[in-house]
């Protein structure tokens, strides 16, 4: 059981899953018991085609054209009824290089042909009521189409406890909404696991979280999990041959058939307009890829990115301070001159 706590102005508690040490294995997810300190929990009812019964998530061996009903139990250990929202999402690699099971996305790599979020549907309403000190069984229907697909699919069955809306305010205080959620991991395996295959997609300058960056799209075009990858990336000027940026990143996880939008922050030394080459060396447990891509930063793009980034905002602030100081000096000089002129005029009169 792994509990992951995030703070975004709210407290989100989630039992999630991370990719384990094996390319064919994902880690434990959710909880197996009804007792905890946040009022509810969930557990998967593992079916007969569970690959490893030691796993608490759905680790299923499926076949072309197969249909199956999955069940999960929601436990309510409070003295009042609770409402829980549930949904199933396809896993992908997020901007931090970690496999994301909870937050959904609408943009996937073109190599992704089958999605758990489309093949598995929650039966009934998406919001269910769990009675006080009771349980609720929820079901989901899996429908695998007739397909020649072989490999792995990843996803997550997400459960969020809905809280009551705040109806009053206290002067001088801040209302904080707590969100409590769980996710049961879902891993479907069909046929044989293919060999890992990585490609380098689009490379372009962008503003990421108000910082200038070169974003390189690292694509996993194979239906297999890639984990514990180390990336060494260099950006070279095509005009001079000089290396202008080197970035290293470890412990990258790539979900099957996903694209990792890898942001390489350039800092205050933003790249100028020109032609560049990006070279990325990716190392896995037993694989090594050397990926290269040429890209261009136009003068207009460089100017636009500099204007939008926080680095340039800092410079603008400095210039505003300088301009303000100069303006005060000018105004002060004019006032002093005016006073001198008026005094001189009075003496002359």
> Cα–Cα distance between 38 and 199 in angstroms, integer?
43
pLDDT at 180: 78
Residues 81-112: pLDDT tens digits?
999 999 999 999 999 999 999 899 988 999 99
- Three-state DSSP class for 155? strand
Sheet holding 40-45, edge to edge: 40-45, 67-76, 135-143, 120-122
pLDDT at 11: 31
- Give the E-state strand segments of the chain in sequence order: 3-7, 11-15, 40-45, 58-62, 67-76, 82-90, 92-93, 99-100, 120-122, 127-130, 135-143, 151-162, 178-190, 198-208, 211-220, 226-237, 243-254, 258-265, 274-283, 288-297
Average pLDDT over residues 31-42: 68
- Percentage of residues in the chain having pLDDT higher than 70: 73
Average pLDDT over residues 129-134: 97
Average pLDDT over residues 130-152: 97
* CATH code of domain 198-301: 2.60.40.10
What are 150's two structure tokens?
Answer: 């072989």
Q: Where are the domains of the chain?
A: 3-165+176-190, 198-301
Residues 148-157: pLDDT tens digits?
999 999 999 9
pLDDT at 304: 86
Residues 143-191: pLDDT tens digits?
999 999 999 999 999 999 997 543 334 344 344 455 678 999 999 999 9
Please check the confidence at residue 246 and state whether its pLDDT lies above 60: yes
pLDDT at 168: 38
Q: Fold match between 3-165+176-190 and 198-301?
A: yes
Mean pLDDT for the chain?
81
Give the confidence band of 121 by pLDDT, cuts at 50, 70, 90.
very high
User: Of residues 339 and 14, which shows the higher confidence score?
Assistant: 339
Give the confidence band of 209 by pLDDT, cuts at 50, 70, 90.
confident
CATH of 3-165+176-190, picked from 1.50.10.10, 2.60.40.10, 3.40.190.10, 2.40.400.10, is 2.60.40.10
Phi, psi of 306 (to 5 degrees): -65, -35
- Three-state DSSP class for 122? strand
Give the confidence band of 328 by pLDDT, cuts at 50, 70, 90.
low
Query: What distances in angstroms separate CA 252 from CA 1, 163, 261, 343, one per listed residue?
Result: 21, 35, 12, 75
Please check the confidence at residue 22 and state whether its pLDDT lies above 90: no
- Residues 108, 154 contacting (CB under 8 angstroms): no
Give the confidence band of 245 by pLDDT, cuts at 50, 70, 90.
very high
pLDDT at 68: 97
Least confident piece of the model among 119-128, 175-184, 330-339: 330-339
Least confident piece of the model among 6-15, 84-93, 222-231: 6-15
């Amino acid at each position: 059981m792994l509990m992951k706590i995030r703070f975004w102005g709210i407290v989100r508690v989630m039992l999630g899953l991370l990719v384990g040490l094996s390319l064919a294995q994902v880690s434990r997810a959710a909880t197996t018991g009804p007792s905890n300190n946040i009022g509810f929990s969930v557990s998967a009812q593992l079916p007969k085609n569970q690959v490893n019964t030691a796993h608490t998530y759905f680790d299923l061996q499926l076949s072309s054209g197969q249909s199956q009903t999955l069940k999960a139990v929601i436990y309510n250990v409070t003295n009042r009824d609770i409402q829980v929202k549930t949904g199933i999402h396809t896993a992908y690699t997020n901007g931090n290089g970690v496999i994301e099971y909870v937050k959904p996305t609408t943009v996937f790599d073109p190599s992704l042909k089958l999605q758990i979020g489309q093949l598995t549907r929650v039966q009934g309403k998406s919001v269910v009521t769990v009675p006080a000190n009771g349980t609720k069984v929820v079901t989901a229907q899996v429908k695998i189409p007739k397909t020649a697909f072989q490999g792995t699919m990843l996803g997550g069955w997400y459960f969020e406890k809905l809280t009551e809306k705040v109806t009053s305010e206290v002067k001088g205080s801040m209302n904080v909404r707590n969100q409590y959620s769980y996710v049961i991991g879902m891993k479907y395996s069909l046929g044989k696991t293919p060999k890992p295959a990585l490609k380098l997609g689009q490379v372009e300058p962008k503003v990421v979280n108000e910082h200038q960056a070169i974003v390189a799209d690292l694509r996993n075009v194979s239906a297999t999990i890639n984990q514990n990858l180390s990336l060494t990336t260099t950006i070279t000027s095509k005009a001079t041959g000089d290396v202008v940026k080197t970035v290293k990143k470890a412990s990258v996880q790539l979900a099957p058939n996903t694209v990792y939008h890898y942001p390489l922050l350039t800092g205050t030394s933003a790249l100028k307009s020109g032609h560049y080459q990006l070279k990325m060396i990716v190392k896995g447990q037993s694989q090594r890829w050397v990926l290269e891509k040429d890209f261009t930063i136009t003068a207009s793009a460089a100017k636009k990115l500099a204007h939008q980034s926080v680095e340039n905002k800092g410079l603008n602030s400095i210039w505003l301070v300088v301009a303000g100081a100069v303006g005060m000096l000018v105004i002060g000089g004019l006032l002093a001159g005016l006073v001198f002129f008026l005094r001189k005029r009075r003496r002359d009169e």
